[in-house]
A and B are shown apart, each in its own frame.
Chain A
Amino acid sequence: MIFEFTDEHEELRRTVRQFLANESDENTVRELMADVRGYNPDTWKRIAEELGLAGLIIPDAHGGADFGLVELAIVMEEMGRVLLCSPFLSSAVLATSALVLAADESAQAEILPQLASGETTATLAFSEKQSPWDLSGLRMAAKADGDEYTLTGVKSYVLDGHSADEILVVARAGDELALFRVAPDAKGLTREAVAPLDPTRKLATLEFRDTRASRISSGDATKGIERAIARTLIALAAEQTGGAQTCLDQAVAYAKTRLQFGRPIGSYQAIKHQCADLLVEVEFAKSAAYNAAFTDESDGDALSTAAAMAKSFCSEAYTKAAKRNIQIHGGMGFTWEHPAHLYLKRAKASEMLLGSPASHRERVAAAVGIGSR
């Protein structure tokens, strides 16, 4: 039934929340922000082994927990609340989904068990500067070289691209789009970390020069990759919802205790009503993210529309909440010392990641028949 979380779901949420409360406090987040890799490999290992989250959506047969979007959304929402620094989005969501939905069985059997156990991480490099989030605009074309291929070109905004053990690349193969696997130390591959707007999530630029790659998908992989991106949009929307909730919680807590002119600032309607507005936005964001997570995955069109709706709404809700949180904190909210800016940076960066809210509204419009001209 729609929106009915089971006791098992609530148990999963509690377990993840408890773990993250211990392992991803503000100090830890700040340390990892300053770290080039951007996450703690020991913590990631424990997330994989103790919680089984690295393989959350990996099929049973490949060593995973075989869960679906609902569990994924719950986990991402909790991670978003505390700005967990980890390769979960890049490896356990995006790359994993691409492998599950687009790769050949043999590649799945080789890569997925290691991802599930936390031994390795993977990333999916698909974005190119001139067409960041639209697969149809990708230009990188693989050159056939016997059984192997070579890749030349640049992939941008690659999540954890500088640290991932497995590099998966989306490129053209003739008329088709295909998934390739590149060794992390392959000749002609340079991986450069970029300085990200959001230091809690690392990005890299990957340059390929006649770099050897093996094709791990058969036929046109467009549909599979699109589906993997749709899943990632839903996961990201859930993460944004968790982040927005934290911003609201912080703003409300501060408004209750900060005194000016002899009374708590939360007693002034100017502040109270901003909090009330955020409450509406956060509740709507939850509805958007949960609705997408509860959508039947076998209905591809419904899934991509729900994903676009969630990503456009949750993005704007999160950014709004992060900005209001800074405003309600006043001068304190503008300091480096206070965590409010960490949420603003995560909010703004995740709003742009995988496409702007307006671009996703355009998808919704096309799907529901707005704009006949």
Chain B
Amino acid sequence: MIRYIKREIFRGFKKHETRVHPLNYLFWECTSRCNLNCLHCGSDCTKDSSYDDMPLADFLSALDTIPHTSERITVVLTGGEPLLRSDIEQCGMEIRKRGMHWSMVSNGYLYDEQKHIALLNAGMGALTFSLDGLEENHNWLRNAKNSFSKADRAIDLAVKSPRLNFDVVTCVNQRNLTELPAIYDYLIQKGVKAWRLFTIVPIGRARHNPDLFLADQQLKEVMDFIKTRRKLSLIDVKFSCEGFVGTYENQVRNGFFFCRAGINIGSILIDGSISACPNIDRSFAQGDIYHDNFFDTWQSKFKPFRDRGWTKTGQCKKCSDYNDCLGNGMHYWHGEKENVLVCHNEKIKCASKN
């Protein structure tokens, strides 16, 4: 009964949040260069990008269209690998001086003590590193033999900083699925406080490698793993916000599923496009900072993000959970958008039947 009431209130909250759409979270795809060549990269990033890094001044011009409000905004520097930018500290400092908070997603390869201190000096407040397994499996997915030791060093630095809201993310795949308990122990021993698990989206380089994707039963195993470990409260382990997980809702995350792309989350992509999460199909771009006022675009456009009715097609058309799911995460709609790429809910239901 309480769960039912909470769900109903949450539906109201989602509707209200969608109507008001306060911008709380802004991705900046500041480079598309990357020093790794990960097997699962959804961006097809390489060492040599076809795009130059976006000049800081261009980004700041867009940022300066956002009026000063009481809303707390975190700017998330992403890529590619943000640490390849030689001016990364200056980028952070300029964002922070504007009263916004900033953070960074990194593979940790270039994160040493000197960089750690320089980024803290620039006001960095949150940080995420990727760790996709223990040594063998991490190095395999990251396609670089030293990447685990580099990530390990980076994690050691991050956990020591009380300033940082820090977490580790892991892309679960066929190889590291059975290793999750060992990764869990490793992270606890390292002093990591928060751990997010993802599945891999069949886009970019990943779509050519079926070993990266979980079968229905394996996804359910991940849910059960998270659910049981959350009860122990030794680390804040959770499933990412990537999709609606049916009967596991509110048990594998803090709350129910809510894809906030275009509602609370915006982005400025490498070519200046204005959109939401960077892994969302680029055809959803709502404008670009070189021709449009960023904040006006945020306020007045984004209809496909704020009215998800168009997702009621394909297998979503007759789904009884549609009102809670609204077509899963926006990044699961690509190409002609005739059907959702992955339905976690259906996979879990299938696994439960067998």
Q: A and B: real partners?
A: no
B interface residues with partner A (beta carbon < 8 Å)? none
